[in-house]
Structure 1
Amino acid sequence: MLGERFHMDVRYLDKLNKNKEYKAGETITVLNTRGALNKRINRVVANKADKTLYAYDGNQLVATYPTTVGSDDTPSPHGTYKIVNKVKMPWYKATVGEGAQKKIHMLPPGPNNPVGVVWMGLSKPSYGLHGSPKPEGISRQASHGCIRLTNWDVLEVYANIENGATVELK
């Protein structure tokens, strides 16, 4: 939880705070991250090669975020799409098994939900931008085709982007 709270990899937090027990009231060292983005985002470009999401207001680049993209088995699509819905604290529908053994489970909202704390659906069904319960895996793992960000980054995008914004996947 501290890693997510302070936007840091837990291992790095431990390096900065050797011999700390992380008890209530204890002083710890954290990175000084930038302030909140206060720019409108009307277009994002997910560059799959460099695993980065570029956020624009018109033609002005206003932010970049590390991302996780699709794998070779489940690649992210190429093309230009629109954001069609935005959901904060989404439920997640998990399908387990096959055929007669197939079961559907609804996983509750929260930071440990497989899509994190935000889902922004694209005009291409079943694809979207979303958070992650594992910030340390961003840009190191592969997704099932969606664009995955840390929960804190996806919350920033969510706050500054509207339905209808353009999403380019290349």
Structure 2
Amino acid sequence: MKDFDKHIIINIAKQSLSLYKHDVKICQYGVSTAKNGIGSQQDSGCTPLGRHIIAQKIGGHEPINAVFVGRVPTGEIHSAEFGADYPERDWILTRILWLQGLEEGINKGSNDKGGCDTYQRYIYIHGTPDNESMDLPLSHGCVRMRNQDIVELYDKIEEGVAVTIIAS
């Protein structure tokens, strides 16, 4: 049975993700959102605001630091040495929570500027290398978390849980 008494709020100004149950905060994590700031347009590299849901949970049985490409585990395990060998890669590690926007023309579908669909933009909450900074906006649009934190969050929620991304 799905637990819709839980919801997530991602605060871009605070670079934080908070999980609530019955409007009581049960945990909070540091995150890293987009280096390019707030926005929803296709190819903007920005983090979209507004109401979303967790559309898909991916990687529940993968080990910590498992590397994903196109939402598929590659069989690689990230380490600092491995990462140094491939500095151009944008690492998606450990778990993926794929977001789907709920607001037509804001984070779903398109608007007068073109595509603005969070799901079609492949915006996730996902693990990132442990040497990456949290609390600083450095991603390409996704919400990055520490690997241990994304495992903990992944285990506490289900698909369909509400996610609201706010500026402050």
Give the TM interval when normalised to the shorter protein: 0.5 to 0.7
2:31 paired with 1:67: yes
More relative contact order, 1 or 2 (CA 8 Å, 6+ apart): 2
Matches of 1:165 and 1:140, distance apart in 2: 25
TM-aligned CA distance change 1:41 to 1:150, over 3 Å = farther
Higher mean alpha-carbon deviation, 41-50 vs 151-160, is at 41-50
TM-aligned CA distance change 1:150 to 1:76, over 3 Å = same
Amino acid corresponding to residue 87 of structure 1 in structure 2: I
Matches of 1:150 and 1:140, distance apart in 2: 13
Q: Structure 1: 5+ residue runs without aligned partners?
A: 1-39, 95-105
Amino acid corresponding to residue 50 of structure 1 in structure 2: K
The count of aligned residue pairs is 120
Q: Percent identity?
A: 22
Mapped contact 1:117–1:155 kept (Cα < 8 A): yes
Matches of 1:68 and 1:154, distance apart in 2: 12
Q: Structure 2: 5+ residue runs without aligned partners?
A: 37-43, 80-89, 101-117
Bigger CA radius of gyration: 1
Question: TM-score normalised to the size of structure 1?
Answer: 0.63
| Residue of structure 2 in register with 1:116 after alignment | 93
2:49 paired with 1:81: no
Mapped contact 1:111–1:151 kept (Cα < 8 A): no
| Deviation of 1:110 (Å) | 3.4
Mapped contact 2:15–2:137 kept (Cα < 8 A): no
Q: How does 1:35-114 map to 2 (within 5 A)?
A: 42-72=6-36, 74-88=45-59, 89=62, 91-93=68-70, 107-108=74-75, 110-112=77-79, 114=91
Q: Which runs of 4+ in 1 moved over 2 A?
A: 106-113
Matches of 1:43 and 1:85, distance apart in 2: 15
Question: TM-score normalised to the size of structure 2?
Answer: 0.64
| Deviation of 1:119 (Å) | 0.4
